[in-house]
């Protein structure tokens, strides 16, 4: 959520920093990491 908010603040022109735009690109990376963690938890719960 925070990375996405940073990107929106740049895209809306509230903050002219390219750093905010770069942080916004990390949204997909964070979502991927979360999916991997959920997969690991699912596998642990279904282990014999």
| Count of domains observed in the chain | 1
* Alpha helices per DSSP H over 1-48: 2-11, 18-24, 27-45
pLDDT tens-digit series, residues 2-31: 878 888 888 899 988 888 888 877 878 888
* Separation CA 42–CA 34 (nearest Å): 12
- The candidate with the shortest Cα–Cα distance to 10, out of 29, 32, 30, 26, is 26
Q: Is there a contact between 36 and 44 (Cβ–Cβ < 8 Å)?
A: no
Q: Which domain holds residue 32?
A: 2-45
pLDDT tens sequence across 38-48: 999 998 888 77
| R_g (Cα) of the chain, nearest Å | 16
The answer to pTM > 0.85 is: no
Distance, in Å, from the CA atom of 6 to the CA atom of 1, rounded to the nearest integer, reads 9
């Amino acid at each position: 959520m925070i990375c996405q908010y940073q990107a929106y603040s740049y895209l809306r022109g509230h903050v002219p920093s390219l750093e905010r735009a770069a942080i916004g690109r990390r949204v997909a990376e964070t979502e991927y990491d979360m999916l991997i963690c959920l997969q690991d938890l699912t596998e642990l719960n279904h282990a014999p």
